[in-house]
Amino acid sequence: MFSMSVDSVFSHKIWQEEELSKMIEGGVPYPMLSDAGGRVGKVYGVYDEDAGVNVRGRFIMDPDGVIQAMEVLTPPVGRNVEETIRQVQAFQHVRETGEVTPSGWTLGKPTLKPGPDLAGKVWKIWKP
């Protein structure tokens, strides 16, 4: 896990020390990378050339580098870190077990086993 913006490494260091470390004990526990010039942001379609910034995007990739989920938000709307963690756990569970996770699934909750016997019977197993 990492974060990335067009800000410099120095800006990230100050943000981590002066802001994030006061909101999260020890600051964020992952690297903050610099995408000077928005080269990576352009590849993922989140670089706003006119403003010179990457808009808020979140991409969850599997170990093979395949994007499994993405979300792009405009700057005024904050992200939900708990939802990101829930999704990462769900993708990891699916990869490890081959089961599927219903809407809103959280670690330890029932999953679904895909197959022809499930068609038309999800309602019997999954209670939202």
- Does 105 fall in a domain? yes
Find the domain containing 38 and state its range.
3-54
pTM for the whole structure: 0.77
How many domains does the chain contain in total?
Answer: 2
pLDDT digits (tens, 9 = 90+) for 53-109: 899 899 999 999 999 999 999 888 888 888 988 999 999 999 999 999 988 899 999
- Does 75 fall in a domain? no
SS3 labels along the chain: CCEEECCCHHHHHHHHHHHHHHHCCCCCCCCEEECHHHHHHHHCCCEECCCCEECEEEEEECCCCCEEEEEEECCCCCCCHHHHHHHHHHHHHHHHHCCECCCCCCCCCCCECCCCCCCCCHHHHCCC
pLDDT digits (tens, 9 = 90+) for 16-65: 899 888 888 888 888 889 999 999 999 999 999 999 989 989 999 999 99
